[in-house]
């Protein structure tokens, strides 16, 4: 959507004219984009949700930009990029000239971003755009409607949280989200309504945001999500030439439970690696005190708990907890394992994007689990098995 929708097709006009000086035209075009998104996504966008959706993915948005946000940075980058050519054409006869409206545009940018230095590379549209985007995101954080809203905004700005939006949507390789899953994942990301208020099957009232389903004691998505994440991890090990199996025998905890997986050959220092994955709810009431301050706090806490449970595993194994959250952030241990596994995937396949593909599959598995959890609170009907391709 972000590559084929209106703004990319309109970039030439934005870069080649002072379109930023015509707010009425810009407003009409922004409304057209919003109407299109509302129709295609089947989501009701409010002012805050539309503002967040228009941010780049790296800052918690959907990457579908507003014309009003892009017009000024596009013009400034284009003007500075063409300045040398303008000088070569006009300087011999007319001296040093500046492109029309350039000074005015720089003044507007400086007033909008006070105490911010101009870009090191003024020809880069991203460097002009980044301070404006961060101002918008900071404004959303400062005006957060609740601690839960703040925790959501912090979590969605993490790199791992937007990976499902970067994946190639292909049914052949299992990375295509069905319409319902995509809509619910988008709603959770931008804070839009997912459903009408209703009573969950556990008896608790569910509000229009649907967050209860993510932490419900009868969550319909928890078990298939856990299985899907572990299957992705195991397949990644196998692709990296490290045979692995799930739920190995002989490594039972005191409570009778087994870890999620183990490599069958040494991983490092002559020892096999044992991993245990978990996905915790970013927005659960018990996690909000941490997640409203630090992204990934809930995942980090879950990883610490996993390490305590496997403290008696022994020195013959390397243990790695793989903690992730429902809104996307990963824990420190998961990031370390990902970096090492991504490096080996690249070495084994020769594809520099192999590690990224692995991370995207984890992200997609989380979104499918979220969708199944939200739909599982409804009174009837949908076969949740179709969400997962297992």
Would you say residue 157 lies in a domain?
A: no
Instruction: Tell whether 126 and 234 lie within a shared domain.
Output: no
Q: Examine residue 196 and state whether it is found in any structural domain, yes or no.
A: no
Q: What is the sign, positive or negative, of the torsion defined by CA atoms of 55, 59, 61, 62?
A: positive
Tokens 């404004």, residue located: 139
Taking only Cα atoms into account, the Rg of the chain, rounded to an integer number of angstroms, comes to 24
pLDDT one digit per residue (tens) for the chain, 390 residues: 777 776 777 888 888 888 889 999 999 999 999 999 999 999 999 999 999 999 999 999 999 999 999 999 999 999 988 888 877 777 666 666 677 788 899 999 999 999 899 999 999 999 999 999 999 999 999 999 999 999 999 999 999 999 999 999 998 888 999 999 999 999 999 999 999 998 888 888 999 999 999 998 888 888 999 999 999 999 999 999 999 999 888 776 666 678 999 999 999 999 999 999 999 999 999 999 999 999 999 999 999 999 998 888 878 899 999 999 999 999 999 999 999 999 999 999 999 999 999 999 999 999 999 999 999 888 765 555 555 543
Q: Are residues 372 and 243 in the same domain?
A: yes
Q: Which residue in the block uniquely carries the two structure tokens 């609170």?
A: 377
- Number of residues that make up the chain: 390
367 and 223, same structural domain?
A: yes
Beta-bridge partner residues of 244: 263
pTM of the model: 0.90
> Do 274 and 374 have their domain in common?
yes
Nearby residues of 155 by Cβ (< 8 Å), 6 or more positions away: 161, 282, 291, 295, 296, 325, 327, 328, 329
Q: In the listed set 112, 128, 143, which residue is the last one of a domain according to the structure? A: 143
Task: Give me the helix-helix angle, 147-156 and 125-142, nearest 10°.
Answer: 160
Query: Per the domain annotation, does 306 fall within a domain?
Result: yes
Please tell me whether residues 120 and 237 are part of one structural domain.
Answer: no
Domain membership of residue 341 (yes or no) is yes
For strand 318-325 and strand 273-280, is the pairing parallel, antiparallel, or unpaired?
parallel
358 plus 233 within the same structural domain: yes
**Per-residue pLDDT, 234:** 96
3-class SS of residue 146: coil
In a domain, 79, yes or no: yes
245: part of which helix (H) or strand (E)? strand 244-246
Q: Which two tokens stand for residue 193?
A: 């309504």
Q: In this structure, are 225 and 368 located in the same domain? A: yes
What is the SS3 assignment for 102? helix
Question: Sign of torsion, CA 16 21 23 25?
Answer: negative
Domain assignment of residue 100, yes or no: yes
Say how far apart CA 100 and CA 251 lie, in whole Å. 72
Give yes or no: residues 129 and 232 share one domain.
no
* Residue 70 contacts residue 14 (beta carbons within 8 Å): yes
| Displacement of CA 119 from its chain's centroid (Å) | 26
Residue 316 lies in domain: 215-386
Angle between helical axes of 179-190 and 147-156 (0-180°, round to 10): 120
Residues with Cβ within 8 Å of 168's Cβ and at least 6 positions away in sequence, in order, are 175
* pLDDT for res 382: 57
In this structure, are 25 and 136 located in the same domain? yes
Last residue of a domain, one of 143, 177, 198: 143
Is 184 a member of any domain?
no
Please tell me the predicted confidence (pLDDT) of residue 92: 65
Write down which residue in 96, 121, 143 finishes a domain: 143
Q: Taking a C-beta distance cutoff of 8 angstroms, is the pair 206, 195 a contact?
A: yes
Task: Confirm whether 183 is domain-assigned.
Answer: no
**361 and 220 inside one domain:** yes
Query: Residue 355, Cβ neighbours under 10 Å: how many?
Result: 21
Count of the separate structural domains present in the chain? 2
Question: Which residue bears the tokens 């199944």?
Answer: 372
Whole-angstrom distance, CA of residue 295 vs CA of residue 113: 26
DSSP string, 166-235: HS---TTTT-PPPHHHHHHHHHHHHT---S--EE-TTS-EE-TT-THHHH-TT-SSHHHHHHHHHHHHHH
Distance between CA atoms of 50 and 7, rounded to whole angstroms?
Answer: 15
**Same-domain pairing of 95 and 231:** no
């Amino acid at each position: 959507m972000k590559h084929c929708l209106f703004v990319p097709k309109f970039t030439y006009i934005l870069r080649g004219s002072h379109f930023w000086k015509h707010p009425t035209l810009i407003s009409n075009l922004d409304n057209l984009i919003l109407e299109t998104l509302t129709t295609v996504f089947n989501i009701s966008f409010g002012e805050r949700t539309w503002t967040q959706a228009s941010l780049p993915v790296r800052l918690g948005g959907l990457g579908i930009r507003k014309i009003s946000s892009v017009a000024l940075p596009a013009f400034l980058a284009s003007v500075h990029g063409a300045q040398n050519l303008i000088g070569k054409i006009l300087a011999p006869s007319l001296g040093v000239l500046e492109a029309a409206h350039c000074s005015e545009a720089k003044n507007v940018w400086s007033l909008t971003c006070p105490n911010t230095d101009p870009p090191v590379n003024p020809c880069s549209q991203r460097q002009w755009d980044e301070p404006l985007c961060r101002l918008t995101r900071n404004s959303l954080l400062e005006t957060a409607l609740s601690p839960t809203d703040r925790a959501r905004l912090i979590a969605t700005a993490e790199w791992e949280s937007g990976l499902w939006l970067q994946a190639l949507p292909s049914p052949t390789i299992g990375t295509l989200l069905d319409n319902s899953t995509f809509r619910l994942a988008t709603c959770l990301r931008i804070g839009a309504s997912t459903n009408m208020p209703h009573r969950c099957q556990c008896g608790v009232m569910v509000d229009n945001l649907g967050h209860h389903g993510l932490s419900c004691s009868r969550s319909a998505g928890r078990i298939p999500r856990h299985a899907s994440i572990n299957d992705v991890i195991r397949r990644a090990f196998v692709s990296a030439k490290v045979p692995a199996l799930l739920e190995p025998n002989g490594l039972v905890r005191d409570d009778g439970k087994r870890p999620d997986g183990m490599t069958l050959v040494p991983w490092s220092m002559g020892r096999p690696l044992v991993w245990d994955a978990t996905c915790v709810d970013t927005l659960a009431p018990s996690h909000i005190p941490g997640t409203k301050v630090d992204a990934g706090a809930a995942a980090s806490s879950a990883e610490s708990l996993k390490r305590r449970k496997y403290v008696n595993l022994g020195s013959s194994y390397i243990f790695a907890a793989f903690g992730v959250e429902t809104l996307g952030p990963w824990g420190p241990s998961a990031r370390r394992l990902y970096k090492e596994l991504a490096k080996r995937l690249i070495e084994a396949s020769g594809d520099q994007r192999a590690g990224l593909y692995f991370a995207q599959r984890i992200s997609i598995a989380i979104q499918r689990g979220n969708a199944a959890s939200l739909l599982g609170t409804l009174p009837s009907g949908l076969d949740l098995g179709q969400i997962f391709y297992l």
